[in-house]
Amino acid sequence: MRFLKLYARFIPIYFKSKTEHGFGFYMDFVGFALNHVVSYFVIWALMSRFQTINGWNMYEVMLMYTLNMLTFGIAAVFFFFQMTDVEEDVHMGTFDSLLVKPINPFVHMIIRAFGHFFLGDIVIAVGMLVFCFHKLGLSLDFGSAIAFIAVLLGGVLVQAAFIVISGSACFWLVRSRSLMNMVLFGIRDLMDYPVSIYGTVLRGVLTFVIPYAFVNFYPAQLILNRNDDALFASWLPYATPAVGLLLFAIGYRVWNAGLNRYQGTGS
């Protein structure tokens, strides 16, 4: 709890320092957000021509894209730049500074930075989520709202886990940026469309090996109450929170394994 209070005090100070850059600070939001505006336009153009993709209509596909963007944006605020900073620290030999503080290095890694770049993504995603819900005629009662929050948090944990796992590779590779880009902006992009359009092997990989399908595909099935497109097992849409917790625990163990391997600049 003490760390949360420190982090809550840190964020206003962080924004105050960043706003000193004026126009450049606000362009951070615009630059990141424009990529998603283009992606939504591509989905609109594609779906206007083909109407459905494997039974999923335009607003359902947009909902999946939005869930992917929203969960990644939330996770990236707290982990993305923090993990890239760790890579730079390991490369420059300054990572030892995290180890000599009276605080868990993982917690220190999180609270020493804030990924404000991704706040624009979150704002757009929330707006598009409301838009998609309206177009699809979806509404949330108390029970469905709790289920939605649970699968959303599960998706955030999946995204955070992959950021931590791929970023922690710097303890073995020193430079892990290429691996992070491949996992976070390569493989994850496969989830912009329904995983059911892929072959059985890739479906299995995205469900059981690199379970990005729990970021948006299975949550979308639950939100839309789609029982006609079940893959492998009908209970998988309900497993997102458990998968998120398990994968994040694995990510934390990978981080600790990297810490144990790290020998400092004097080695």
Question: Which tens digits make up the pLDDT trace of 87-98?
Answer: 888 878 788 877
| Ordered DSSP codes for 66-123 | HHHHHHHHHHHHHHHHHHHHHHHHHHHT-THHHHSSSS-HHHHHHHT---GGGHHHHH
Please state, in angstroms and rounded to a whole number, the distance separating the CA atoms of residues 255 and 203: 27
Please state, in angstroms and rounded to a whole number, the distance separating the CA atoms of residues 66 and 126: 8
Q: Are 232 and 86 in contact (CB under 8 A)?
A: no
Please state, in angstroms and rounded to a whole number, the distance separating the CA atoms of residues 33 and 264: 38
Residues in the chain: 267
Going from the C-alpha of 131 to that of each of 22, 62, 198, 233, the distances in angstroms are 31, 10, 27, 30
Residue 161 pLDDT > 80, yes or no? yes
- pLDDT band of 131, cuts 50, 70, 90: very high
Q: Are 157 and 248 in contact (CB under 8 A)?
A: yes
E strand or H helix that includes residue 56: strand 56-57
DSSP state of 215: T
Question: Which tens digits make up the pLDDT trace of 6-24?
Answer: 777 777 777 676 666 666 6
Specify which of 22-36, 103-117, 153-167 reaches the highest per-range mean pLDDT.
153-167
% of the chain with per-residue pLDDT over 90: 39
Mean residue pLDDT across the chain: 85
Residue carrying the six token digits 């500074």: 97
pTM: 0.88
Q: Which residues of 177-208 are buried (b: 16+ CB within 10 A; e: fewer)?
A: bebbeebbeeebebbebbbbebeeeebebbbe
List CB contacts of 189: < 8 A, sequence separation 6 or more.
none
List CB contacts of 261: < 8 A, sequence separation 6 or more.
171, 172
Give the other-Cβ count within 10 Å of 68's Cβ. 26
Report the phi/psi class of residue 141: left, alpha or beta, with left for phi > 0 and alpha for psi in -120 to 50. beta
Q: Are 69 and 35 in contact (CB under 8 A)?
A: no
- pLDDT band of 267, cuts 50, 70, 90: very low
Residue carrying the six token digits 């840190």: 10
- pLDDT band of 165, cuts 50, 70, 90: very high
- Listed by start position, the domains of the chain span 2-261
